[in-house]
Amino acid sequence: MRLKRKVALVTGGGQGVGRGIALALATEGAAVVITGRTESKLKDTAAEIAGRGGRAHTVVGDVCERSDVDHMVAQTLREFGALDVLVNNAQSSVQRRLEQTSYDDLELAYRSGPLATFHAMQAALPWLRESRGSVVNLGSSTAVQGDPTFASYAMAKEAIRGLTRVAAREWGTYGIRVNVICPAALSPAAELYLTAHPEHAERLAADIPLGRLGDPEEDIGRAVAALVSDDMAYLTGATLMLEGGRTLIG
């Protein structure tokens, strides 16, 4: 129960990596607010947390909208009275080759990724200063590797890493830690993609020294729980590669 009496806000917490992180934080004792666009998915995650004896609250909203992001933070404070951990997980994008990538593709990736992350961090700052809290932003090994067909996504994820480093320097004086994780996990989106592209699934497995994609809760969520706990209190501005060693081989 390393996170007992802590309050966490996880965007995109209804499925995949976000769900895994929310479950792991709740298991460690945190009260968790999970947000996303699909209420049924949020309710399912919240019910699972409650079934384990944890506390969860759901907020429906779109991180592309600044007013929705402000509402997510406000609801966290109204429900639990504090904010100690912010996890910016939500992200939308489309896959196309670089020459086919449009401005609309870039706008979608940027609005849901670095701009949403920026807005959430700004909205949460007063409360994170009060709690000397922790921010975890989501990067991607796909961006680090420069995988083909991921131009808009890679651009957005690397922008998030730049934002994270600046925040780590500026907010360290407040006692706030800001880090990035780059996960490779078997989320529903990853599963759909790999099912549709079996040749890529084989290549990906061969590129991961540990031989598998991570589990969203056991491999990614538990690492985030450790990262935001006092056990990692001296780490900020870092990128934690949670991808089974994939970027060692690319």
- Give pLDDT, residue 206: 81
User: Residues 247, 190: contact at Cβ < 8 Å?
Assistant: no
pLDDT tens sequence for the chain (250 residues)? 999 999 999 999 999 999 999 999 999 999 999 999 999 999 999 999 999 999 999 999 999 999 999 999 999 999 999 999 999 999 999 999 999 999 999 999 999 999 999 999 999 999 999 999 999 999 999 999 998 999 999 999 999 999 999 999 999 999 999 999 999 998 877 788 788 888 877 787 788 999 888 999 999 999 999 999 999 999 999 999 999 998 886 5
- Give pLDDT, residue 189: 74
Question: Residue 57 and residue 7: Cα distance in Å, rounded?
Answer: 11
**Cβ of 192: how many Cβ atoms within 10 Å?**
10
| Helix or strand run (H / E) with residue 58 | strand 56-60
Question: Alpha helix (H) ranges present in the chain?
Answer: 16-27, 39-51, 66-80, 103-112, 114-131, 141-145, 151-171, 188-196, 198-206, 222-227
Positive or negative: CA dihedral 67, 72, 75, 76? negative
Task: Tell the residue number behind the tokens 């009260």, with chain if given.
Answer: 31
Torsion of CA 36, 37, 39, 43, to 10 degrees: -20
- Please give the CATH architecture assigned to the domain spanning 7-186+216-234: 3-Layer(aba) Sandwich (3.40)
Reduced to 3 states (helix: H, G, I; strand: E, B; else coil), residue 61 is coil
- Give pLDDT, residue 194: 82
- Give pLDDT, residue 71: 98
Q: Where are the domains of the chain?
A: 7-186+216-234
What is the residue type of 69? V
- Give pLDDT, residue 250: 52
- Give pLDDT, residue 18: 97
Give the catalytic positions in this structure.
153
The β-bridge partners of 8 are 32, 85
